[in-house]
Amino acid sequence: MTQENNKYLFQVNLKGMIELLSEHIYSAPNVFVREVLQNGMDAATARRTIDEHHQGEINIYINKVDGLPQVIFEDNGIGLSENEVHQFLSVIGQSSKRGDFNEKDYIGKFGIGMLSCLVVSNEIIVETRSLIKDEAVCWKGKADGTYTVERIENMEKPGTRVILHPKKEWLPLFEKAELKKNILYFGNALPITIRLISDGETEMLVDKTPVWLSPESTKEELLSYGKDAFNINFLDAFPLHSHAGEIDGVAYIMPHKVQFSGSKQHKIYLKRMFLCEQANNLLPEWSSFVKCIINTNELRPTASRESLMDDEIMKEAKKELSNSFKDYLKVLTLKDTGKLGEIINIHHMFIKALAVEDRSLLKLFVDYIPFETNKGHIPFVSIKSYNEVIYYTPSLDDFRQIRRIAGSQGKTVINAAYSFEADLIQQIKITFPEIKIEKITPQDILDTLADVAVSEDEAYMRFEKRANDLLKQQYCKAQLKQFDPVDTPAIYVANDEAMSNKNLQSLSTAGNPFAATLQNFIKKEDNMPTLCFNKDNEIVKNLIAIEDEPLFNSIVHIMYVQALMLGGYPVNKKEMTVFNDALYQLLVMGMSNFLGNMGL
């Protein structure tokens, strides 16, 4: 037996292919509208290669046949000959556009688009007359994999008609309002005339270049279009362009804050046919503060035609689109600083991410960038005017601990715990070496607190010993300090190592078989969180003089947990129990004294 005799052809289960399309490739059944419009657009494009003055048209008819709807998509494109019908309509995966010298001008290329019609219709009828061979044929394809072809005489002009009768479950898609909505959804930007004809009435749906693609559109027209497209009153709009991928479009600035990780919905078109709402890997990560309408003529779609392929052209396009954003912001620094300030005030998180990436932009608008500080949210231009040295902390817990004490010492501290802020601070230090910026920790604040000569006062010595004996159970040590503001009775100070030791100590006392081994991971026994009592505070003064042990213990425990809460530290179950018990004891003692004074 020869090798040729061992060769066989694969068999295709068309019904299985249709299920694959409907359930896994296409996200919704209405994509048949896109696919038929696409074929009509490509047919008109092909005809223009022969007649450059040809004006493409697609007319969509809604008829009633035996009481049931019938929809006809009719174009005046190049049409198909009988041989082309067999070659392109009857062979799955064979596209009439693939391999053409003008292939990049066409929208479709995978050869599976017409199958989407079999998702919503049991049969596809295609009547077509070829411009080149001047012959007309009717092709009928069914979901069972069979098709027929016959010559017809009822088409006088070149073009194609696609005739569909809906399946019962998809009747709503063929109603006039729904069909019109889907035609505009997919085809509103196509460079072709599209009409919808029903009950003797003709409605023009598409006949001109959309506002967002016209270089002559005013800012007001762009903003008005953006409001209609997204139902949002945008803050501003600016053009987008990339030579790579032949991309043009418009970016709209959101008028309110948005989440960095929030859903990024745009409108992406391929050769002016709507493709998808996601611009994955096309727009820079920090661009979530805009919504974009974009058309690309060269980026490649996936087989489903519902996303773009991430390739080298897209990577280059992403760089060029990033530059469009940057150029827009640079122009604002020269022409509209008020608008720039408004954008940065609302979207400072994204602008910070951009500034980290581009040092030239950082130089331009660093003064406008706001930061959270112990003096409120203020722009950097104000921050650098307050002190010779600017302090920052990359830890939110540390910022909560030190903000009030640092403020009483006249220090300005930036909370750099948010996304990109620590990196941005480093870029500012490198870009502006004349500005003194230093990291600060709770330990630094602790070291600045004035020491109290405890050893010279017996009452102070006794207070510290009693407090330390009590707080040792919470893995905390007590120190008597002197600091402002005086109305702060105590602060809880702990660096990362101290907190780690505390957590390990807590776990090592838990009832599990591995608890005992955790004690070995504690780095330094003396590195414990510290509760600093303010010697000049009125509560602390009275506390030092208290002899009653239950009363002393209750007040210390309450001050300990209160300091934890004010510092933004987590309060565990054991500490909460201690707090509740102490509060209960205070209430009992207070009521007992009150009743005793009344002689009851």
Binding residues for ATP: 35, 39, 75, 160, 305
User: Which residue has 């780690």 as its token pair?
Assistant: 500
User: Which residue has 């201690």 as its token pair?
Assistant: 578
What DSSP line would sit under 104-166, residue for residue? Answer: GG-S--SS-GGGGHHHHEEEEEEEEE-TTT--EEEEEEETTS-EEEEE-SS--SSEEEEEEEE
C-beta separation of 327 from 349 below 8 A? no
Residue type, 184: L
Strands of the sheet with 413-415, listed across from one edge? 376-379, 370-373, 413-415, 389-393, 436-439
438: closest CA among 420, 417, 412?
412
User: Which residues, listed in sequence order, are joined to residue 69 by a DSSP beta bridge?
Assistant: 64
Q: Which long-range contacts (CB under 8 A, 24 or more apart) does 324-329 make?
A: 324/238, 324/239, 324/240, 324/241, 324/242, 324/251, 325/251, 325/284, 325/287, 325/290, 325/354, 326/354, 326/358, 326/361, 328/238, 328/251, 329/354, 329/361, 329/364, 329/365
Indicate the annotated binding residues: 35, 39, 75, 160, 305
Dihedrals φ, ψ of 556, to 5°? -65, -45
To which H or E segment does residue 456 belong?
none
C-beta separation of 120 from 170 below 8 A? yes
Supply 540's token pair: 């602390």
Q: How far is CA 555 from CA 457, 490, 579, in A?
A: 22, 12, 9
d(Cα 526, Cα 507) in Å, to the nearest integer?
18
What is the torsional sign of CA 205, 221, 298, 287? negative
Which phi-psi region, left, alpha or beta, contains residue 599 (left: φ > 0; alpha: ψ -120 to 50)?
left
To which H or E segment does residue 97 belong?
none
d(Cα 202, Cα 214) in Å, to the nearest integer?
26
d(Cα 403, Cα 398) in Å, to the nearest integer?
8
The DSSP symbol for 86 reads: I
Say how far residue 133 (Cα) sits from the centre of its chain: 52
Q: What is residue 67's three-state secondary structure?
A: coil
The DSSP symbol for 300 reads: P
d(Cα 449, Cα 481) in Å, to the nearest integer?
6
How open is the CA angle 172-141-42, to the nearest 5 degrees?
80
Nearby residues of 449 by Cβ (< 8 Å), 6 or more positions away: 405, 481, 482, 483, 532
